Amino acid sequence: MRWKQRGATADLANGIPALGRDELEYPSRDGRPMGETDTHRDEIVAAIESLKARYSERDDAYVAGDLFIYYEEGNPKARLAPDVFVVFGVPKHRRRVYKLWEEGVAPCFVLEVSSRSSWLRDFGAKKAICERLGVAEYFVFDPEGEYLEPPLQGFRRLGRDLRAIAADERGGFVSESLGLSLHLEDLHLVLVDVRTGERLLGPQEEHAARVAAEVTRDEAVARIRTAEAARDEARAQARAAEEELARLRAELAERKA
């Protein structure tokens, strides 16, 4: 969704000093940690890295998380920091913050990893802001299974609202924006490509798969080298046998002469 900038009169209405817009600071941090626990942080990082890998070949796909999105020019208080979000149609490069009036495009996908301190806000203020910004899909996930029932819930834009999506038989959902299905396995979020059925790997899984592939490759190389050595040995033995046979024939010929 293309972002429509609000007028400059918003500054005084929100109690912001009438400074020049270039003088205003838009902080990149608020001092809060990425996740409330190791579990929350691991799930956030895994989702971000999996999505980054999925869109690594696209120059117009931006994946980020725990990054401030500022949505009112001149008002540094008008911000939110989704745990995970995806934007299509903007250049892929590192950002300190994401300013909607400069980027021109709102996220199409937002994922919040809920915790004791955030789950009410995830279903209240954050969801309302995402509705206002035009976010197409909004998902909320409780990795501890203590605050949400069910622990994974999804919302999709219908008109101006984000409406709840019916879960499938596994309690999962399809993200139409990303072409991915989302479901839980032992309270771990799993992302699967709808078209290919392939599972997106998290950092640890990708590392393990890479190590396994390297081991398999090394074993294959070792088998090839062993086979080549056996072949060379067989060829050497064949040459030696031919040379011995030639020697015997020459010796026999000399005796006959």
User: Is pLDDT of 112 > 80?
Assistant: yes
The two structure tokens encoding residue 169: 């038989």
Last residue within a domain, chosen from 177, 200, 223:
200
Q: What is the mean pLDDT of residues 74-99?
A: 96
Residue 10: pLDDT band with limits 50, 70, 90: very low
User: Is pLDDT of 175 > 50?
Assistant: yes
Query: Domain of 66: which CATH number?
Result: 3.90.1570.10
* 173, 210: one domain: no
* 124, 21: one domain: yes
Last residue within a domain, chosen from 200, 218, 237:
200
Taking only the tens place, the pLDDT of each residue in 11-69 is 434 444 444 555 688 888 766 665 678 899 999 999 999 999 999 999 999 999 999 99
Write down the mean pLDDT value for the chain.
84
Model pTM?
0.72
Last residue within a domain, chosen from 160, 179, 200:
200
pLDDT at res. 242: 81
* 111, 213: one domain: no
* 36, 158: one domain: yes
* 145, 37: one domain: yes
* 124, 44: one domain: yes
Crossing angle for the helix pair 203-256 and 38-54, to the nearest 10 degrees: 60
Taken in order 40, 185, 147, 86, the sign of the CA dihedral is: positive
CB atoms within 10 A of CB 205: 13
The two structure tokens encoding residue 40: 């929350």
Share of residues in the chain with pLDDT > 70 (%): 81
* 148, 211: one domain: no
Residue 254: pLDDT band with limits 50, 70, 90: confident
Nearest to 70 by CA among 96, 52, 109, 41: 96
* 119, 166: one domain: yes
pLDDT at res. 6: 46
- Residue 141 CA: distances (Å) to CA of 7, 75, 255: 35, 30, 94
Residue 229: pLDDT band with limits 50, 70, 90: confident
**How many independent structural domains does the chain possess?**
2
CB atoms within 10 A of CB 185: 10
Can you tell me the distance from the alpha carbon of 235 to that of 169, in angstroms, rounded to the nearest whole number? Answer: 62
User: Is pLDDT of 159 > 90?
Assistant: yes
- Residue 69 CA: distances (Å) to CA of 10, 154, 179, 219: 17, 21, 24, 48
Can you give the residue range of the structural domain that contains 210? Answer: 206-257
CB atoms within 10 A of CB 36: 16
